[in-house]
Structure 1
Amino acid sequence: MNGAILLLCIAVILFLALMIVLSAVKIVPEYERGVVFRLGRLVGARGPGLFFLIPVFERMVRVDTRVITMDVPAQEVITLDNVTIKVNAVLYFMVVNPNYAVVKVMDYIRATMQIAQTTLRSAVGQVDLDTLLAHREKLNERLQKIIDEQTEPWGVKVTIVEVKDVELPQSMQRAMAKQAEAEREKRAKIIHADGEFEASKKLAEAADIIAREPVTLQLRYLQTLTEIAVEKNSTIIFPLPVDTIKVFTDMANYAGVNGSPGNRPTPVVAPTTDQPQSGATRRLDG
């Protein structure tokens, strides 16, 4: 009887010893660190790998050191030029000091999230809409710097902050579309005017060459006729040189000014009613 009780006590003691040994053995993977507290005081971070804790006297808190990706919820912000928009972002951060991440802040993930939301509203409210849309890289760098400075005492390193989406009001979208359309029309008109200017210079050079060599105008007529003949047209236009018509027009102008002898009109002499003629007529009658 006494032997059975003794064996039972030994078995219980061995079982308790085994449980204590198993609770003292800790295995931490490569991406984690174990922050150890001894009687409530910070001992330090241990791991990765296998290590032992003093049962009852030491306690361990696991901390993930991998990069954490977090979506910052959409924030309604009024920009510097008084435009109400909704903007959201994505945040990448990691724990570089596990001791501070456990001791300095209660929940470093939630605290980092709140800091990111506040900083996003503040930073976007200090820039205008054009800067936000055209120079987003500078805003991302500014956000990363501000958030990293505030989370550094917690042992958290913010690596990247990216503004994902900017939601504009419908009225602002229509206004921006009109502005872009007007800008495109402006560029088109400028390009067209530049083309006309270059074409006018080339035409002036061509006119100078044609003025020195009139034969080139006839060659140009023939080339134009060749281009017209390529198309399936029923009418063929044959250009007549201006010099050929000029001879006939000069003759017509000369004939119209001087007149021909055969067609020259006969002058008509109207009878006069002077007083001396009337007196002479009376004398002859008498």
Structure 2
Amino acid sequence: MDRLVDLHMHSTASDGTLTPGEVVAMAREEGLAAIALTDHDTTAGLPEAIAAGRRLGVEVVPGIEISAKRERGTLHIVGLFIDPEDGRLEERCQALQAERGRRNERIVSRLCELGMPVTLDEVRGKSGGGVIGRPHFAAVMVEKGYVATREEAFDRWLAKGQPAYFPKALLDPAESIAMIHDAGGVAVCAHPSQLRCAGEHELEGAIAELRHHGLDAIETQWSTATAEEMALTERVAGRQGLLRSGGSDFHGGNKPDIRMGVARGQIRVTADVLEALRRAARPRART
């Protein structure tokens, strides 16, 4: 039987609901051979996850997920096999988190103006000490009775184009990829359907541009993908000479329909995918 892995997931270090150690423990229960912890703009959860992995016999690939600029849709770039102690990466993450802090203050002010008073302390309490994001605001809004569900919080107030939405600071794609490479990692285009490309030709153009900036791989299996989308992305990866990656984008209770390792039942990422990515990372690893 093929060993299965999951190379995209989140913990309480960003917008997941399980601690890094709990993520690893669940991975063991699910029978996964390896996982990548890829929290948003932070490596804070990696030491706990790596220690838990050693204790429980689950390989933990150090990772990160970075949001990059794109005119249409959303571009997230996952870094795998990064050095979690890279000083330059940490400095850049701290700068991004400072920008997130300013954005969070604006969201608090706007919700208060809209008659839904919340405090940063309340939101921080939902983050478990990790990076604060919109899911934590949504959780407070549900708790205080302003909305019935987290989905309603986003649909009516927090999503792009809604009254309490503010864009977060984003890096250029080239800068995001270089940031990952400088930390010894492999740069992966995450959940490519979120690029909102109109068809295969447009997707290939977008991926080719990222390839020009040094993109190493693309997720060909992800949580919302249809069989047709995965096949399309496989074709694009082959023509562009990119490695494959994949993962569930597991968030725990913040995405309750997504199961670690299988997403909605349609993904199956095998260990050979991990080994190809590992080989690609080695030439850039520091000595």
What TM-score results when the alignment is normalised by the length of structure 1?
Answer: 0.20
Structure number with greater CO (CA < 8 Å, separation at least 6) is 2
What TM-score results when the alignment is normalised by the length of structure 2?
Answer: 0.19
Considering fraction of residues, name the structure with more helix.
1
Considering fraction of residues, name the structure with more strand.
1
